Structure 1
Amino acid sequence: MSQSFALAGVESNSPSPSCDCLAHRFGNAADRPDRTPCYVSDMTDAEWQVVRAVLPVPAWLEGRGGRPEGFCHRQMIDAVRYVVDNGVKWANLPTDFPPYRRVHAFARRWQVTGLLAELHDRLRDRVRQKEGRTVDPSAAIVDSQSLRAAANIPRSTSGWDGGKKVGGRKRHLAVDCLGLVLVVLVTAASVQDRDAAVPLLERLRKLYFSVRLVWADGGYAGRLVDWAAEKLQLTLDIVKRSDTTTGFVVLPRRWVVERTLSWLMRSRRLVRDVETLPAMHEAMVLWSMTMLMSGRLAGRRRGGFSRPEPRAR
Structure 2
Amino acid sequence: MPADLPPWQTVYWHFARWEDAGVTEKLLTALRIKARTAQGREPEPSAGVLDRQSVKGADTVGTDSRGYDASKKIDGRKRFIVTETAGLLIAVAVLAASWQDPDGGKTALLGMYLRSPVRHVFADQGFAGRFVDWARDTLKTTVEIVRKPADQQGFAVHPRRWVVEGTLARLTAHRRVARDYERHPEASEAVIRWAAINGMLGRITRGHPAQSQLRRTFAWI
Distance in 2 between the 1:285 and 1:216 partners?
20
- Paired with 1:286 and 1:201, the residues of 2 have a C-alpha distance of 16
Alignment of 1:247-258 (within 5 A): 247-258=154-165
8 A Cα contact 2:172 2:179, kept in partner: no
> Which residues of structure 1 form unaligned runs of 5+?
1-89, 303-313
Secondary structure of the residue that 2:98 maps to in structure 1?
coil
The answer to whether the Cα contact below 8 Å between 2:39 and 2:207 also exists between their aligned partners in 1 is: no
**2:92–2:111 CA contact under 8 A, matched in 1:** no
Higher relative contact order, structure no. (Cα contacts within 8 Å, ≥ 6 residues apart): 2
Match of 2:122 in 1: 215
Q: Which residue of 1 aligns with 2:87?
A: 179
Task: Give the root-mean-square deviation of aligned CA atoms.
Answer: 1.6
Aligned to 1:78: none
Give yes or no for contact 1:239–1:252 (8 Å, CA) kept in 2.
no
**Secondary structure of 1:253's match?**
helix
Deviation string, structure 1 residues 7-38 (Cα, Å, up to 9, x no partner): xxxxxxxxxxxxxxxxxxxxxxxxxxxxxxxx
Q: Which amino acid aligns with 1:232?
A: L
List per-residue Cα deviations over 1:215-252 (Å, max 9, x = no partner): 00000000111121111111110001134322211013
Partner residue, 1:224: 131
| Letter of the structure 1 residue corresponding to residue 156 of structure 2 | V
Aligned partners of 1:264 and 1:270 also within 8 Å: yes
User: 1:143 and 2:55 equivalent?
Assistant: no
Aligned to 1:196: 104
One of 236, 245, 258 as aligned partner of 2:152:
245
Q: Encode CA deviations 1:72-97: one digit per residue, 9 max, x unaligned.
A: xxxxxxxxxxxxxxxxxx3xx223x3
Distance 2:201 2:92 in 1: 19
Deviations 1:258-290 (A, max 9, x none): 000011011011111110010111111111111
Of 198-207 and 124-133, deviating more is 198-207
Identity percentage of aligned residues: 38
Work out the number of aligned pairs and report it.
Answer: 209
Give the whole-Å Cα distance in 2 for the aligned partners of 1:155 and 1:242.
40
Once the two structures are superposed, what CA deviation does each residue of 1:105-158 show, in whole Å capped at 9, x if it has no partner?
212221222012111211111001101111211100000000000112111100
Q: Tell me which amino acid in the other structure corresponds to 1:202.
A: L
Does residue 94 of structure 1 match 2:11?
no
Alignment of 1:162-173 (within 5 A): 162-173=70-81
Q: Mapping of 1:1-313 within 5 angstroms?
A: 90=1, 93-95=2-4, 97-208=5-116, 210-299=117-206
Task: Check whether the contact 2:67–2:77 (CA below 8 A) recurs between aligned residues.
Answer: yes
Which residue does the alignment assign to 1:17? none
d(CA) in 2 for partners of 1:99 and 1:155? 27
The structure with more radius of gyration: 1
* Distance (Å, rounded) in 2 between the aligned partners of 1:120 and 1:142: 17
**Structure 2 unaligned blocks of 5 or more:** 211-221
Q: Would you tell me which structure has more strand in proportion to its own residues? A: 2
* Corresponding letter in the other structure for 1:283: A
Q: 2: CA distance between counterparts of 1:285 and 1:115?
A: 13
- Alignment correspondent of 1:84: none
- Output the amino acid matched with 1:262: A
SS of equivalent to 1:247: coil
SS of match in other structure, 2:78: strand
Length-normalised TM-score, structure 2: 0.89
